[in-house]
């Protein structure tokens, strides 16, 4: 079995690794460190929680052990998609460089520019940044990237998904062509191949696990939930979440609860606190200081439940998370792998439970297709809600009554309209007698056409005059024809006169 001492790392780095309690590298570390130390580009693909961060930090600081950075010219660059992940990389850097005289700077939003400028002016060996804040410093003339020797893109697929492609391309253009590039990610979508072909030169591809696979140490489950009514679904769904937490009992020492929307993060956190659960939200709209305090409390164990958006799904390392609850089914199947990867880390056991409502079933099917396995179904804690949702609830019966009443009303109206029509063929036979001229036959059709917009009124009249004789109908038709003639022979909707071909078609239909 490979050990860190077999990987040709700097002795001072090995000492820091030993003090941190590690002896054996993970598969991604064992595969990526040797080619990285040889100066090759690396494309590392591994599921989350397998130690990708150390996979690029250890060789990077070994390569940078000699030399010194100049002012505003960092020697290496690490790009991260979120502030939390960037801060975590900085913590790893501090852990493994305790015996080396290497400097770092963390460029993330929510922190004063002045403090960051001071560090850059002194010169840093490692610059850890999010793309937006890095470009802000560059555009202000505070940063020069022409001396970057090693460039790392952590969680590459997430960077591309978040719309950082133009920023990444620009940053690559600002760095030397001779740089060494390391790409690390949990998934590798086909569209990323074009980016890697552009930015990496003959990379060593290290793929230690099937793409988008979940750890086998994580027990997964899903509750197929349907609310009793649409306006009650959200509150009932939160109740299901609380019952799932209670069902785990003491086994649920702490948990991360994921929501798709920031507003839901705040609502779920507030609801949990209302019912006595120790919870706090974390999402992109919160101040950086608040996000940092929340994460520190969760890592320290003073906070039991962390309600998060996907900003916390990528790369965060909290080793002892016992459970992950997906309050919402993620919109992208890959995000499910990252979410549940917050538990069961470093070989530990974990459990991931998801709540799926009917509108999310398509996304749920995509997840099962991606991980190539069926997620076990868990019985709905609110079993009676499932019955109500299928029409057994009194509320559903009440809601259907107006619809049923309107349907019966329409049915009666249709029957009323159909009654005269059923007699129409019998009534047309007297009209077809030889004593009646063809002109009245042709005129009868436009008369009915003119009266069509008043169909509802006539329908009411028919219900009261079902015993009208054919003679009365003919006299009515004559009055209509007379009224039309008084208006100059114009037919509503047909202009000043009726085209000959229309008169002919009506005549033929009535003759038949």
pLDDT band at residue 423 using 50, 70 and 90 as cut-offs: very low
Other C-beta atoms closer than 10 Å to the C-beta of 94 total 12
Residue 494 has a pLDDT of: 52
Q: What is the mean pLDDT of residues 478-486?
A: 47
Cα distance from N-terminal residue to C-terminal residue, the chain: 96
Q: Does pLDDT of 77 surpass 70?
A: yes
- What is the predicted pLDDT for the residue at 286? 84
Instruction: Look up residue 297 and give its two tokens.
Output: 């409390």
Q: Are residues 188 and 228 in the same domain?
A: no
Please check whether residue 411 lies inside any domain of the structure. no
Residue 510 has pLDDT above 90, yes or no: no
**Full-model pTM:** 0.62
Q: Which of 169-183, 283-297, 378-392 has the highest mean pLDDT?
A: 169-183
Query: What pLDDT shows up at residue 400?
Result: 41
pLDDT value at 482 more than 80: no
CB neighbour list of residue 238: distance below 8 Å, 6 or more residues apart: 267, 268, 271
Q: Is 317 in the same domain as 296? A: yes
Which of 26-35, 291-300, 332-341 is the least confident region?
Answer: 332-341
Asked if 317 and 229 sit in the same domain, the reply is yes
State residue 207's pLDDT score.
Answer: 86
| 85 within a domain of the structure (yes/no) | yes
95 and 146 in a single domain? The answer is yes
pLDDT of residue 203 exceeding 70, the answer is yes
For the chain, what percent of residues have pLDDT higher than 70? 71
pLDDT at 85: 87
State whether the Cα torsion 317-108-81-125 is positive or negative.
Answer: negative
Q: Say whether both 124 and 203 belong to one domain.
A: yes
Residues 222, 162 share a domain = no
Beta bridge partners of 184: 44, 154
Report how far residue 56's alpha carbon sits from residue 58's, in angstroms, rounded to the nearest whole number: 6
pLDDT of residue 328: 96
**Looking at residues 6-28, what average pLDDT do you find?**
92
In this structure, is residue 76 part of a structural domain? Answer: yes
In a domain, 472, yes or no: yes
Domain boundary among 207, 233, 266: 207
**Residue, of 39 and 382, whose pLDDT is higher:** 39
Are 194 and 223 in a shared domain? no
- Percentage helix, strand, coil, to 5, in the chain? 55, 10, 35
CA distances from 480 to 142, 429, 433 (A): 89, 20, 20
56 versus 480: the higher-pLDDT residue is 56
Q: Are residues 178 and 33 part of one domain? A: yes
Which phi and psi (to 5°) does residue 505 adopt? -65, -40
In a domain, 403, yes or no: no
Examine the pLDDT at 470 and tell me if it is beyond 50: no
Same domain, 267 and 191: no
Dihedral angle, C-alpha 460, 466, 467, 470, nearest 10 °: 90
Q: How confident is the model at residue 466 (pLDDT cuts 50, 70, 90)?
A: very low
| Least confident range of 232-246, 349-363, 448-462 | 448-462
CATH number, domain with residue 317: 3.40.50.300
Does residue 400 belong to any structural domain of this protein?
no
pLDDT of residue 146: 93
- Which structural domain range is residue 321 located in? 218-395
Residues 6+ apart with CB under 8 A from 292: 87
Name the strand (E) or helix (H) holding 324: strand 323-326
Establish how many alpha carbons lie within 13 A of residue 251's alpha carbon, considering only the half-sphere containing its beta carbon: 13
Q: What is the pLDDT of residue 404?
A: 46
For residue 405, is pLDDT > 50?
Answer: no
Residue 197: both structure tokens together: 């072909």
Helices 438-451 and 500-511: crossing angle, nearest 10°?
A: 110
User: In this structure, are 85 and 195 located in the same domain?
Assistant: yes
pLDDT of residue 500: 64
pLDDT at 427 exceeding the cut of 60: no
Choice between 453 and 324, residue whose per-residue pLDDT is larger? 324
Show which of 207, 230, 246 is a domain's final residue.
Answer: 207
Residues 6+ apart with CB under 8 A from 465: none
Is residue 87 located within the same domain as residue 163?
Answer: yes
16 and 90 part of one domain: yes
Quote the pLDDT of residue 504: 58
Q: For residues 466 and 219, which has the higher predicted lDDT (pLDDT)?
A: 219
pLDDT at 49: 67
Q: How many domains does the chain have?
A: 3
DSSP output for 127-167:
EEE-HHHHHHHHHTT----TT--EEEEETHHHHHHTT-HHH
The answer to whether residue 486 sits within a structural domain is: yes
Give the pLDDT of residue 211.
55
Q: Which of 144, 179, 207 is the last residue of a domain?
A: 207
Within-domain flag for 409: no
Per residue in 118-158, pLDDT tens?
A: 999 999 999 999 999 999 999 999 999 999 999 999 887 77
Return the pLDDT at 422: 40
Tell me what pLDDT residue 193 has: 79
Share of the chain above pLDDT 90, in %: 46
């Amino acid at each position: 079995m490979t050990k860190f001492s077999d990987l040709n790392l700097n002795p001072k780095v090995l000492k820091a690794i030993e003090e941190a309690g590690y002896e054996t590298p993970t598969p991604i570390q064992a595969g990526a460190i040797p080619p990285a130390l040889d100066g090759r580009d690396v494309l590392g693909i591994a599921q989350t929680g397998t130690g990708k961060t150390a996979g690029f930090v250890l060789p990077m600081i070994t390569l940078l052990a000699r030399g010194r950075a100049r002012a505003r010219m960092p020697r290496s660059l690490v790009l991260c998609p979120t502030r939390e992940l960037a801060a975590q990389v900085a913590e790893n850097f501090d852990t493994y460089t305790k015996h080396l005289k290497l400097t770092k700077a963390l460029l993330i939003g929510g922190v004063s520019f002045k403090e960051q400028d001071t560090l850059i002016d002194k010169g840093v060996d490692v610059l850890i940044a999010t793309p937006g804040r890095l470009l802000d410093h560059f555009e202000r003339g505070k940063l020069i990237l022409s001396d970057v020797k090693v460039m790392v893109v952590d969680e590459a697929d997430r960077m591309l998904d978040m719309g950082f492609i133009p920023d990444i391309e620009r940053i690559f253009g600002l760095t030397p062509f001779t740089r060494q590039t390391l790409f690390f990610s949990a998934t590798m979508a086909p569209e990323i191949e074009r980016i890697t072909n552009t930015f990496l030169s003959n990379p060593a591809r290290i793929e230690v696990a099937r793409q988008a696979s979940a750890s086998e140490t994580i027990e997964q489950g899903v509750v197929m939930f349907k609310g009793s009514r649409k306006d009650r679904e959200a509150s009932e769904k939160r109740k299901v979440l609380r019952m799932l937490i209670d069902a785990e009992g003491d086994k649920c020492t702490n948990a991360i609860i994921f929501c798709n929307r920031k507003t839901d993060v705040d609502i779920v956190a507030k609801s949990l606190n209302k019912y006595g659960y120790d919870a706090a939200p974390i999402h992109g709209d919160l101040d950086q200081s608040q996000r940092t305090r929340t994460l520190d409390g969760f890592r320290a164990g003073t906070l039991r439940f962390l309600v998060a958006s996907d900003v916390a799904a990528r790369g965060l390392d909290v080793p002892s998370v016992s459970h992950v609850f997906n309050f919402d089914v993620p919109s992208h199947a890959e995000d499910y792998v990252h979410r549940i990867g917050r538990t069961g880390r470093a070989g530990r056991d974990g459990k991931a439970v998801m709540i799926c409502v009917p509108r999310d079933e398509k996304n749920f099917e995509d997840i099962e297709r991606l991980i190539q396995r069926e997620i076990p179904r868990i019985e709905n804690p609110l079993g009676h809600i499932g019955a109500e949702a299928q029409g057994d609830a009194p509320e559903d019966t009440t809601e259907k009554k107006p619809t049923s009443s309107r349907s019966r009303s329409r049915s009666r109206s249709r029957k009323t309209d159909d009654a005269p029509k059923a007699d129409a063929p019998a009534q047309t036979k007297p009209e077809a007698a030889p004593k009646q001229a063809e002109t009245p036959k042709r005129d009868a059709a436009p008369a009915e056409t003119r009266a069509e917009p008043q169909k509802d009124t006539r329908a009411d009249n028919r219900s009261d005059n079902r015993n009208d004789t054919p003679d009365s109908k003919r006299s009515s038709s004559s009055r209509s024809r007379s009224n039309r003639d008084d208006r100059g022979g114009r037919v509503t909707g047909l202009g000043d006169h009726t085209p000959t071909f229309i008169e002919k078609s009506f005549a033929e239909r009535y003759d038949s």
